[in-house]
Amino acid sequence: VLSYRLWLKIRTDEALAYNVFSTMRPRSDAGEFMVYAGVDSEIEAIVKTLGAVFQEMRDLKDGNISEEEIADSKTCVRGQFDLTLESAGMVAAFLGGNDLYFGRQRPIEEIHAEIERPVKKDLVRLANEMWEEEAVRSLLLTTSFPGYENKFLELRRMLGR
């Protein structure tokens, strides 16, 4: 849901980034949730992009998501999962992950059922559990250019960090 919304808002509507997506890396005891955006190095573009990411997360936390978006997202996730099984390396990772995390091999039908299971209240609950604006940390990677140190300090001031 989030990657699609970010793509529409940040790339298509606002033309702020050449690429944007969200991803997560679950682990047995922790994990990470990440939003990536390839943005121009202008401070205003970075601030607008971060503001759009925060707004999309607020909207999800508030339940501003349609049943159609949820259904489309499930179709997309299932399709992405199925496509990963076209690669021998990803099949090996899938089989190893099943053993590591579940202690057994899970049939593909079980995975498909898990993708279909969440409903709107589950997504809202998850967004509220995962996203605390005060706990957000950002990493800015950029090529060196004249005055980048000043721009970075300006960005930190604008973000209140």
More confident residue, 140 or 1: 1
* pLDDT tens digits along 115-136: 999 899 999 998 888 877 776 7
Instruction: List, for residues 68-94, the tens digit of each pLDDT value.
Output: 999 998 998 899 899 999 999 999 999
Q: Which tens digit of pLDDT belongs to each residue from 5-24?
A: 898 899 999 999 999 998 88
Answer yes or no: are the C-beta atoms of 86 and 37 closer than 8 Å. Answer: no
Query: How confident is residue 159, by pLDDT bands cut at 50, 70 and 90?
Result: low
DSSP string covering the chain, please? Answer: -HHHHHIIIIIIIS--EEEEEEEEEE-SS-EEEEEEEEE-S-HHHHHHHHHHHHHHHHHHHTT---HHHHHHHHHHHHHHHHHHTTSHHHHHHHHHHHHHHHSSPPPHHHHHHHHH---HHHHHHHHHHH--GGG----------TTHHHHHHHHHHHHT-
Q: In this predicted model, what pLDDT tens digit does every residue of 20-55 receive, in sequence order?
A: 998 888 777 777 888 888 888 777 888 888 888 888
According to the model, what pLDDT value does residue 131 have? 79
pTM above 0.85, yes or no: no
For residues 102-133, b (16+ Cβ closer than 10 Å) or e, as one string? eeeeeeeeebeeebeebeeeebbeebeeebee
Query: 2-6, 60-64, 100-104, 129-133 — which is least confidently predicted?
Result: 129-133
